[in-house]
Structure 1
Amino acid sequence: MRRHRWWMAGLAALALLKGTFFVVDETQMAIVTQFGRPLYTLNVKGDEAGLHAKWPFQGRRLLDRRLLIYNPLPTEFLTLDKKNLIVDNFVVWRIADPVRFLQAVGDIPGGEARLHDLVRSEVFAALGQTPLEALVSVDVQKLHLDDLMAKVTEQCRDRALREYGIEIVDVRIKRLNLPEQNKQSVFARMRAERERMAKQYRAEGEEQALKIRAEADKERTRLMAEAYRRAQEIRGQGDAEAARIYAQAYQRDPSLYRLLRTLETYQKSLNEGTTVILSGDSDFLRLLIQGQKALEAKR
């Protein structure tokens, strides 16, 4: 019986110690309560981690003091120009006022539920005042998504801290997508736009090709005309030089010149298949008939 009493006393002492002492981790904050009413907080700023004590009849509630990330399900919104978008966003938050947080929402899932409603309403209002090209565009100057989300974050932060004891660090969009029923029409417009641009580029290319060909033909004609003119000049100079040489040769020995010219003419005009009908006193045949006498008679 005495040993049983010692066991009972030991268990009671252990229960008393367990209800009195508790450990607060560096990643946690604690709220000490008495009959459900908060008395004081511990390690809110991260400088009170360790072993703490309280009265056994008092309770304690541990909360996470780290940054938390809430990922709501993608939601469909409407832009200013009546375009439907599926927005997938996330919220970075932490518990700033543990007492207000405990009284207003109670726990982490409750806080995420409040954040869902708050952030969704602000994002809906912001996107409803923004055209699609300010959210999705190839022109960087037209994009205002970062400014828009910074404004949403600021508007959500004040209300969340005041009503729920939650500090919203950032609200960002992970992905913007189109509803399934709109994708095909958008893809068709994109294909039509790309085909229009391709036709435009082809037309511009053909126009440039025609210009290049015209310039090339013009340059070819000019070069050929210049070459023909130069050839005619050279040919004329050659003919003049030949005539000068012929004249000099004729002046030195007219009979020899006539002989050579006559023989050259015979070579060009007479062959085995040539038939020539001329009178007997023709100058063309005199050399063949009379020989050297014809040349001497010419003198």
Structure 2
Amino acid sequence: MPRLDGKTAVVTGANSGLGYEGTRAFAAKGATVVMACRSVERGEDAADKIRAEAGGGNGDSDSDGDLDVRECDLASLDSVTGFADGLADDYDAVDVLCNNAGVMAIPRSETEDGFETQFGVNHLGHFALTGRLFSLLRDAEGVDGEARIVTQSSGAHESGEMDFSDLNWEESYGKWKAYGRSKLANLLFAYEIQRRIDAANREGDAPIDIRSVACHPGYADTNLQLRTAAESGNPLMKVGMRLANAVLGQDAATGALPMLYAATADVDGGAYVEPGGLMNMRGHPTIGRSNDASYNSEDASRLWEYSTEAAGVEFPF
């Protein structure tokens, strides 16, 4: 990773797992990291731990960037709006936005705004956040002259299927199918926003210097699996998840590498960064390809139109 002094990165879900490791790495390279967390208390605890590991950082040494913990609950569009408005008040630009936070395979529930939670948090919350931070991204110098939008997906996108007649799973619900759909939606969004940026740059006078990149971490040992087990209410599932994490999972720091690569390496807009090892579930980052459904431009456009209305966000193209 290059030095990131003077750069601002926003990371959702920054207090644990991949978000924590990404935050730690950005800060170690000198970036100011806005830690967008559902719980400010847990976010502050994570920030204190990063500062302690860095030797008392938070700007006190040449190698450590500032950490700014702020509340952002992706299950609440009002919270997303408040977070974005606060950033606009305090920051001139955002160089990197990592749409990282998520929930996985939980029993059906709804967000504050009435959307199925996995779809609402994993996709719609990040769609709204990206739209509301777009002007700050557009005003940034970026890592290499272009700001980055990095959207974290999952290999589970391959089991996802877009059903626009029941996006919120009101007719039927399968928690793993819903997770797969939300991760497919992440990719449809990541590629579609790049298409729209490219189209605007072909047609407009003022260039939009923003690059959208998708990624997935492989099988990383994080608390995402443990939360899935806890939500299931099945104690055997909790034991199974812990065992699977120990045997199959790579550590969270390695799992965060595709996100960091997507955010700072010389990759094309619309790229898909994934682990290059066994079954693309382990190892160091490489440029790969997601499944054919994720490149369906008709589905992407339809999802975009739905999301614009549902999230109440218009992108300034």
TM-score of the pair, normalised by structure 2: 0.20
Q: Which has the higher contact order (CA 8 A, sep 6+)?
A: 2
User: Rg larger in 1 or in 2?
Assistant: 1
More strand by share: 1
More helix by share: 1
